[in-house]
Amino acid sequence: MQRIIWLIAVCVINALATEDFICRSCNSKARAELNVTFTEAIRSQSLNKSGVIDNILLSDLRTGICETTFLVRDNKFYAHNESRSLFYEDKKNNINLRHKQFFVSLLEMLKKTEEILGAKLPAIIFNLETQDNPTCRYPVTEIQSEHIRAVKGLFHHSFCSPKLCNSISLFPISYNQNFEAMEATRKLDSLCSRIRWESRREKLFWRGSNAGKKHEYRNFGWNFSKLPRSKAVEMCKSRRDADVKFGFVPWKTFMKHKYVLALAGNTYSSLFKHALRSGACILRQEERMYEWFEPFLKKWIHYIPVKWDLSDLFMQLKWAKTHDKEAKDIGFRAKAVGETLFSPDFMACYIYCLLIDYHSRLKIDLGDYKLLNAFNEIHYVCNRKKGKRDECIRL
């Protein structure tokens, strides 16, 4: 019996050593290329409201507040029996999500990471909210009193206000940022980056939709009647050095301009990551709802910062126009960092190291079969919307 226990202990130590080796190797590459490690980047985003990285207990997840609390163990998915996603159909092995594609992207992300790195990911338990803004459904009494006990252990693609999330783990699981999306747009971004700087128009350019929700923006200190995109369009409508309008154009049209504006929408600016790879000088509204790669970027190195309220937009544009070489260099450095950040190997390293770090903070015995009694194994993941609930994937 003692020999069996000893062998199990050795296997566990060897597994941890392998995990450490992979993340150490990833960290060394990141340090050499970007002068920051994955662990440093991850820890900078894992701070709670008090600015501290703390542990996660089962009670911290507040099951039932977010759409689904998942347990992933031995390549199987389980949903906590208090998860809202279980209540839409009388089928305990089905979950019905608001946006099923977020889960599909998460599933593919885990598989792709294991495939690229040749490593097995650790068991995890976490919250998932499948909408653009990671706002879980808190009790009305907490919202009205403004004393919200924010959930922990939330996985999402966009940063959450500290009022609503007590630390958040950011993953590339949105349709416009996952492995498939970044590879699908790589060639076009590369072609656009070859447009000579000198041949680009000296105008600030933006196109997009009138996205955003006022009640969500208030969590980030936006106190204007118009949302950022409407405000920017209004500000620029009479300027000859700016072409900022609602609508859509081919990406190559963006890149015919030296200066590209990145504006917050429902969450972050979805064009920002593609602009990083395209050689333009980006004037970027200060992000409050940023993406996973934020800690790897630096103001004035990879983009020109614009205040959250857009009050210095034209001052920053004037600087770019009167410092042509510096603006060109910013675009050049952005292209270099973008090509690194969105390569499959770099993304896999980030995901792996984040999951290892997250697993280390869990103070929950994921091997406890009593814990498993509170979860249902999931066989089908379906849409929640009426008329689409038969659109399911089998796990």
| Same-domain status, 388 and 321 | no
| Same-domain status, 25 and 168 | yes
**pLDDT tens, position by position, 284-294:** 999 888 899 99
CATH of the domain at 335: 3.40.50
**pLDDT tens, position by position, 199-257:** 999 999 999 999 887 877 887 888 888 999 999 999 999 999 999 999 999 999 999 99
| Same-domain status, 222 and 328 | yes
| Same-domain status, 171 and 155 | yes
State residue 323's pLDDT score.
98
**pLDDT tens, position by position, 81-95:** 999 888 666 677 889
| Same-domain status, 189 and 282 | yes
Domain of 28, in residue numbers: 2-178+344-394
**pLDDT tens, position by position, 259-282:** 999 999 888 898 999 999 999 999
What is the total count of domains within the chain?
2
- pLDDT, mean of each 10-residue run, the chain (395 residues): 42 48 95 95 74 85 95 94 79 86 95 96 95 86 89 90 82 93 93 94 96 80 89 96 96 95 90 94 92 95 96 98 98 97 97 95 92 93 84 90
* Domain termination residue (choose one: 341, 359, 383): 341
| Same-domain status, 133 and 174 | yes
* Domain termination residue (choose one: 341, 356, 381): 341
Q: Which residues does 199 contact at the CB level (< 8 Å), separation at least 6?
A: none
* Domain termination residue (choose one: 303, 319, 341): 341
| Same-domain status, 250 and 373 | no
| Same-domain status, 40 and 160 | yes
| Same-domain status, 198 and 323 | yes
| Same-domain status, 15 and 48 | yes
Q: The whole model's pTM is what?
A: 0.90
Specify the residue for token string 């689904």.
68
| Same-domain status, 8 and 102 | yes
What is the three-state SS of the chain?
Answer: CHHHHHHHHHHHHHHHHHHHHHHHHHHHHHHHHHCCCHHHHHHHHCCCCCCCCCCECHHHHCCCCCCEEEEEECCEEEEECCCHHHCCCCCCCEEEECCHHHHHHHHHHHHHHHHHHCCCCCCEEEEECCCCCCCCCCCHHHHHHCCCCCECCEEECCCCCCCCECCEEECCCCCCCCHHHHHHCHHHHHHHHCCCHHHCEEEEEEEECCCCCHHHHHHHCCCCCCCHHHHHHHHHCCCCCEEEEECCCCHHHHCCEEEEEECCCCCCCCCHHHHHCCCCEEEEECCCCCCCCHHHCCECCCEEEECCCCCCHHHHHHHHHHCHHHHHHHHHHHHHHHHHHCCHHHHHHHHHHHHHHHHHHECCCCCCHHHHCCEEECCEEEECCCCCCCCEEEC
| Same-domain status, 207 and 332 | yes
Any bridge partners for residue 261, and if so which? 283
Structure tokens belonging to residue 137: 């459904």
